[in-house]
Structure 1
């Protein structure tokens, strides 16, 4: 079959990071063509290879993995390369390999970034009963896959390749990197002992999990460590561990940075909160508390913008403009401030799916309208609480602000940053 007929890219899943309980159905003629002439199909094993600038390694790892898996899972597995739009065009190199390796599929992400979400997006598009992940730089010895598969076939919900049990180790790490790795694990045991303590190597990026053990779980990974998320949110009962020696890179540069360790700490804290009392309440009411807190913090910054602009415009030491005109401009300045912070932070995951200045201006106009409606609502509530219910005016004002803040958040979430098919 010609290259142009077969080597298309997988569509990138969007929306929440939920793993479907069954293999996703084909949605187009090209899916029909690839999916062995069926509208949907399943395989025993799907292995995700997240990549970024791995053009020098991708052919080698695909070849090695195919030679390993063909004898044990003939036509019953798939390799999915999920590339974060690498400057060295790793995705394109992998795409050309699809003719030679029929079990290979390729996904190119141009909006989202990060190893953890790349793995989840790959799992969302996967057809396997068992879902796995391996690095694309050959630092994870591929031969260990067979031991992990054997453990899964023996009934494990999760099989982890570990550097910290018999048969495991690191090839030539510096003392600093060893210290940081062990320190991160110790920190995890302090913050989240019931999750991190279940495996010897919670920072491993080399493992397999049964689809049914994580299907339907609301995953929310941060940074590079997806295993902790699987342990913390999945229905994991039986765990197996297999020792492996972490290898040095053959080609390319290491991607270990301090940001990974910071993201790891954020992830631990986020999981800790979500598994505590606040997290259980959040699950019951299905309300995005974290996003609401960010929205409130942005709104608080808007108060200072409003006051600063009002002072500069109205005060006699400034321009000395009239109060009404000054306040109107100050309020709009605060609205614009709040919009850009919300667009870049509170609703960043949604705004990344609606790129371009035209869509951003459209969101800004919607945000303005919602905020103006909120102002009207604030005045109405204040009058009802004070004049009708005889609540003290300061208390009435605080209650009105609280209600309108919730109003602004919820309507903006559902209207201003709503992602539709036409936005993608």
Structure 2
């Protein structure tokens, strides 16, 4: 068992943001590694920190007594959060505190905490109780059962958000959509790549030079680590009870910067494509069959509206109406068949309406993509309009399926 022998602050590691394969030897009294090191990055969390430490300590003392450590890494909060945390070390011997005065940022705070950690499993949890502590042991069990990375997700069974505004939901969806476009091999591996609540084996990120921007440390872990098996555990993201939210526009700018940096530097290129994407073939086949039914509906409606022997509407107006009816047809079939397991848990009319609106927007974007690919292939690669059109349809179909899978049919709202 490793305990904190004094209430002195941890020295802040310097140099590259790299996790050693073996834990540091100069920490603790026994020189032995422990099982779990959980980092709690904080900034202006004076009102929350004692409650967080108390709840986590009680939970872990019951499950893995003496075989864990809590590491509070505070970015020199003006409310002196670090000082409150330091005063708790006598009561909670597994607690260690680091005060950073030169560096700033949640991602780097987490890594600096991991650099000082002695655990074989490294984790992170927010210091504001928006991450429910009771999920902690489910994450740890997932790692103990073989996962290299266990992520608490808002978008799997048992997950959701409690009371987000429409604007925040749109920003979250838009951020994930952008990530899927820029970096599908990273964001496609988990349902909630924006999560800041997870555990990872030390060996999975050891010796990788991490280079995060902003808050989304999980992107860096997946993109640069040696992560083979990923597990996800549902959790409900709760609104904070004390303190103020730190979500700002700068975080979204940092997120885009981070995506581009990972895209350009390549991350860990040794990961297999099947591991990166986890492409669900069965769903895709069902999605494709539904798409074929949509083609039949589109052609039928177009004929009924535009043919001189029927209503004789103008072609453009007829096509728009036929396309919308085909999209509605596809949505209803996908909702009832392709993604039935998800839609069964979100059956209220406003939830279906939101799924339909997202599906519609994604399909319209797919139409634009279809036209662009058609022109690019026909003009620069294969001067055959039918082959070019087939390729364009294939690309648009994959786009529609993948983005809808990640954004339209997922559990996002709970009471």
Q: Normalised by the size of structure 1, how large is the TM-score? A: 0.62
Matched, 1:44 2:29: no
* Partner Cα distance (1:184, 1:234) in 2: 22
> Shift in Å at residue 276 of structure 1?
8.0
- The CA distance in 1 between the partners of 2:249 and 2:81, in whole Å, is 25
Give, in whole Å, the separation in 1 of the partners of 2:202 and 2:5: 31
| Equivalent residue number for residue 161 of structure 1 | 152
- State the shift of 1:65 in Å: 0.3
Is 2:134 the counterpart of 1:143? Answer: yes
SS in 2 for 1:6: coil
Q: Provide runs of 4+ in structure 1 moved above 4 Å.
A: none
Distance 1:276 1:95 in 2: 37
Against the structure 1 CA distance between its residues 5 and 134, is the aligned structure 2 distance closer, same or farther, given a 3 Å change threshold?
closer
CA offsets, 1:219-251, max 9 Å, x none?
000000000000000000000000000011010
Secondary structure at 2:231 match in 1 = strand
Alignment of 1:22-421 (within 5 A): 22-26=22-26, 31=27, 35-36=28-29, 38=30, 40-275=31-266
Quick one: structure 1 residues 10 and 199, their matched pair in 2 at CA, closer, same or farther if it must change by over 3 Å? same
The CA deviation string for residues 140-183 of structure 1, in whole angstroms up to 9 with x for no partner, is 00000011011011010000000011111111000000010011
Q: 1:5: Cα distance to partner?
A: 7.5
C-alpha change, 1:101 and 1:276, in structure 2 (3 Å) is closer
1:368-420 superposed Cα distances (whole Å, 9 cap, x missing partner): xxxxxxxxxxxxxxxxxxxxxxxxxxxxxxxxxxxxxxxxxxxxxxxxxxxxx
Q: Report deviation, 1:71.
A: 1.5
Distance in 2 (alpha carbons) for counterparts of 1:23 and 1:41: 9
CA deviation map 1:176-222 (0-9, x unaligned)? 00010011011100000011100000000000000000000010000
Partner of 2:395: none
Residues 100, 276 of structure 1: CA spacing in aligned structure 2 closer, same or farther, 3 A cutoff? closer
- Distance change >3 Å, CA 126–CA 81, structure 1 → 2: same
What is the aligned residue count? 267
Unaligned ranges ≥5, structure 2: 271-415
1:5–1:150: structure 2 CA closer, same or farther, 3 Å change rule? closer
User: Residue 333 of structure 1 corresponds to which residue in structure 2?
Assistant: none
Partner of 1:403: none
- C-alpha RMSD of the superposition: 1.6
1:10 paired with 2:1, answer: no
TM-score (norm 2): 0.63
Give the conservation status (yes or no) of the 8 Å contact 2:68–2:94: yes
Q: Which residue is 1:21 aligned to?
A: 21
CA distance in 2, matches of 1:80, 1:101: 11
1:41 deviation in Å? 2.2
Q: Tell me the secondary structure at the aligned position of residue 133 of structure 2.
A: coil
The alignment partner of 1:149 has SS state of helix
Query: What is the CA–CA distance in structure 1 between the aligned matches of 2:33 and 2:188, rounded to whole Å?
Result: 33
Distance 1:130 1:250 in 2: 29
Residue aligned with 2:120, SS:
strand
C-alpha separation in 2, matches of 1:90 and 1:276: 34
SS in 2 for 1:262: helix
Give unpaired runs (5+ residues) of structure 1. 281-424
Q: Structure 1: how far apart are the matches of 2:37 and 2:6?
A: 19
Distance (Å, rounded) in 2 between the aligned partners of 1:107 and 1:172: 33
